[in-house]
Chains A and B, each alone.
Chain A
Amino acid sequence: MRFSRQALAGVFFSSPAIVFLVVFVVYPVLDAVRLSLLVVDFATDQTNFVGMANFAQMLRDPKLVPVATNTLVWTVASLIGQFGLGLGAALCISRDVPGMRLIRTILLLPYVVPVIAIALFWRWLLDGSYGLVSYLLQAAALLPANQSPLAIPDAAMASVILANIWRGFPFVMISYWAALQGIPQEQYEAAQVDGAGIWQEFWYVTLPNLLEITKVMLILRLIWTVTFFDIVWLITRGGPAGATEHWPIWIYQESMGFFRFGYGAALALALAILLMVVSSLYFALASRSSER
């Protein structure tokens, strides 16, 4: 097979990127599969092939059910909050009124604020002795004196979810905002001629136009929320007593806390496979519903 000069040029320009992706992305993906079949003895650096034993251990692990439940609660609640707030905010900031550009910019800030900063001002607001939010809750007798919500299992989960909504809704907002810019004005005018009210306009014009972006964004946000490690780890470390330990923290604890690299890799692979199955099913269903 002979390549044209153009094809050679394309390969030449892309080759550093291709090499990088093969070495540092494709190889780790394959290596993840290999590692998940091993037990690594950290003291002697010896590895033993154990087949599916890591996965069998995962299914027997008493942590499986609580961690999976926490992951589900964390993901569903975060997504509901981010999409609800994101859509509402997008509808507001897309109105062309004075000052909205500035408001839009401010609402985007959580996207760039370091997660460590989010975690620390959250912990400061929730500090048992001097935190503003803790104080207000204590004053309303919703919380015992000098206690932080982070010491109470359900309140700790609610806190990390709220922090995650704070951080994640701007992404949803700005994506919806971009989609709203693309809706032809004529559709609204036509609806108004037909006598549609605000709700009917929203229901019959706005929402159908947001369907496509919602489909894509939902699966992306699902993947990135399920696997989002930093914010939970930095606010609660999975505590109190494992109440906020979700799947990524479990992976981290097994690999970096107990140096069970094979088990950690197996947990990560199980999560990746689950996400792949969910996304495939999701896209199959989504494409069928858009054909109809």
Chain B
Amino acid sequence: MKSRAMVGSAVAYVVSLLLVVFIGFPLLWMLVSSFKPAEQLFVSPPRLLPSTLTLDWYRNVMLQSDAPTYFRNSLVIGAATTAICLSIGTLAAYGVTRFEFPGKRVFLIGALLSYVFPAIVLFVPIYMIINSLGLIDALAGVVIAHTILTFPFALWMLRSFFIAIPREIDEAAWVDGASYFLTFVAIILPLALPGVFSVGVFVFVLSWNEYLFAGVLITSGSLKTIPIGISEFITSFDVRWGEIMAMGALATMPVIALFLSVQRFFLRGVIAGAIKG
């Protein structure tokens, strides 16, 4: 019996290490390539490890391209989307986990359906709405689109965190004369904060990574986000791989850092069945 478990563990190690290579290699290759000088980047056969390192690509990206502007735009859009999602999301999560009201079931099922609904299907009508609001080529238009994409998911995940807080806490506060709103702001919200924070991180990451709407809603160079900026590096006729790899690494590192900071809650969210892929 003991030996069977050992064989199992050995197999698990070998297979999962192979998977780590499968996952890690492209990421590391991107990182290594971004530090390779041109004469080692553009050689055939490709070299695994560079003999010298260079910061040229990063310097080009940060000083001679519009990348800093793209980063700022992505940051602004991500922060605004997160703020909107969390404020209307925590209010609603409190409302649906604390109170019974007519239409609550319809609202929850509607939110669940829109969580499943794919963006590309609503692509044209959403474009039309934002057009009629006069928000084409404005950061606010992208914020609205990103809120549409992330809000249903945020609501479901927030709801799972609010359900976990016992209702007796609210009832004790109400008995003591606290208003519903005060109870929400001063007592329940602080208790839900770790969960709210992790939902916020995921909304931010989804917004930071989003390509489709950020691409079609923005036309001016000064309002583009990082994914759009990078994709334009690729399609220009001479493909500047050094700069592209540096920008890819710069775009990826913040989201990996954020993810590592909340992965504990992420796993809890998965178990609650509220993660969008």
Chain A interface residues toward B at CB < 8 A = 3, 6-14, 16-18, 20-21, 24-29, 31-32, 35, 85, 88-89, 91-93, 95, 97, 99-100, 103, 105-125, 127, 129-132, 135, 139, 166, 168, 170-171, 174-175, 177-178, 181, 192, 198, 216, 220-221, 223-224, 226-230, 233-234, 248, 251-252, 255-256, 261, 264-265, 268-269, 271-272
Expressed in whole angstroms, the Cα–Cα distance for A110 and B256 within the complex equals: 9
Q: Classify chain B's interface size.
A: 35 or more
* B120–A248 touching, CB < 8 Å: yes
Expressed in whole angstroms, the Cα–Cα distance for A255 and B215 within the complex equals: 13
* B129–A105 touching, CB < 8 Å: no
Known: A121-B30, A168-B277. 19 other contacts (CB 8 A): A6-B100, A14-B91, A14-B95, A14-B107, A17-B111, A24-B129, A25-B110, A28-B129, A31-B128, A89-B16, A107-B19, A110-B23, A123-B234, A171-B277, A174-B270, A227-B121, A256-B216, A264-B123, A272-B117
- Selected from A9, A17, A130, A265, the residue in CB contact (under 8 A) with B241 is A130
Instruction: Verify if B267 is at the interface (C-beta below 8 Å from A).
Output: yes
* A16–B125 touching, CB < 8 Å: no
Chain B interface residues toward A at CB < 8 A = 1, 4, 8-9, 11-13, 15-17, 19-20, 22-24, 26-27, 29-30, 33, 41-46, 87-89, 91-92, 94-96, 98-104, 107, 110-111, 114, 116-129, 144, 147-148, 151-152, 155, 180, 184, 205, 208-209, 211-212, 216, 226-227, 230-231, 234, 239, 241, 244-245, 248-249, 251-252, 255-256, 258-260, 263, 266-267, 270-271, 273, 275, 277
- Selected from A171, A233, A256, the residue in CB contact (under 8 A) with B275 is A171
**A281 CB to closest chain B CB, in angstroms?**
16
* A268–B41 touching, CB < 8 Å: no
Supposing A9-B180, A17-B92, A31-B129 touch, asked if A122 and B122 sit within 8 A by C-beta, the answer is no
* B270–A175 touching, CB < 8 Å: yes
* B123–A10 touching, CB < 8 Å: no
* B252–A135 touching, CB < 8 Å: no
* A25–B26 touching, CB < 8 Å: no
* A13–B92 touching, CB < 8 Å: yes
Query: For B245, what are the chain A residues with a Cβ–Cβ distance below 8 Å?
Result: 120-121, 124
**B187 CB to closest chain A CB, in angstroms?**
14
Nearest-CB residue, chain B, relative to A192: B1
* B259–A112 touching, CB < 8 Å: yes
Nearest-CB residue, chain A, relative to B1: A192
Nearest-CB residue, chain B, relative to A169: B19
Selected A-B contacts with CB under 8 Å, 18 pairs: A6-B99, A9-B180, A11-B101, A13-B99, A14-B107, A32-B124, A95-B8, A109-B24, A112-B205, A113-B209, A114-B209, A115-B227, A116-B211, A124-B33, A139-B45, A216-B273, A221-B277, A226-B118
* B110–A21 touching, CB < 8 Å: yes
* B125–A31 touching, CB < 8 Å: yes
* A97–B117 touching, CB < 8 Å: no
Q: Find the residue from A135, A230, A248, A255 having the highest chain B CB count within 10 A.
A: A230
* B95–A166 touching, CB < 8 Å: no
Supposing A17-B89, A28-B122, A115-B209 touch, asked if A109 and B23 sit within 8 A by C-beta, the answer is yes
Nearest-CB residue, chain A, relative to B45: A135
* A255–B124 touching, CB < 8 Å: yes
Query: For B275, what are the chain A residues with a Cβ–Cβ distance below 8 Å?
Result: 171, 174-175
* A198–B4 touching, CB < 8 Å: yes
Expressed in whole angstroms, the Cα–Cα distance for A14 and B87 within the complex equals: 11
* A114–B125 touching, CB < 8 Å: no
* A117–B252 touching, CB < 8 Å: yes
**A28 CB to closest chain B CB, in angstroms?**
4
**B265 CB to closest chain A CB, in angstroms?**
13
* A21–B111 touching, CB < 8 Å: yes
* A198–B8 touching, CB < 8 Å: yes
Nearest-CB residue, chain B, relative to A265: B124
* A174–B94 touching, CB < 8 Å: no
**A116 CB to closest chain B CB, in angstroms?**
4
Supposing A14-B92, A95-B8, A120-B234 touch, asked if A130 and B41 sit within 8 A by C-beta, the answer is yes
Query: For A175, what are the chain B residues with a Cβ–Cβ distance below 8 Å?
Result: 270, 275
Expressed in whole angstroms, the Cα–Cα distance for A128 and B22 within the complex equals: 21
* A121–B94 touching, CB < 8 Å: no
* B144–A24 touching, CB < 8 Å: yes
Q: Find the residue from B125, B244, B271 having the highest chain A CB count within 10 A.
A: B125
Expressed in whole angstroms, the Cα–Cα distance for A114 and B74 within the complex equals: 12
* A125–B88 touching, CB < 8 Å: no
Query: For A112, what are the chain B residues with a Cβ–Cβ distance below 8 Å?
Result: 205, 209, 255-256, 258-259
Query: For A174, what are the chain B residues with a Cβ–Cβ distance below 8 Å?
Result: 267, 270, 275
Q: Find the residue from B12, B29, B119, B124 having the highest chain A CB count within 10 A.
A: B124
* A16–B29 touching, CB < 8 Å: no
Query: For B98, what are the chain A residues with a Cβ–Cβ distance below 8 Å?
Result: 9-10, 13
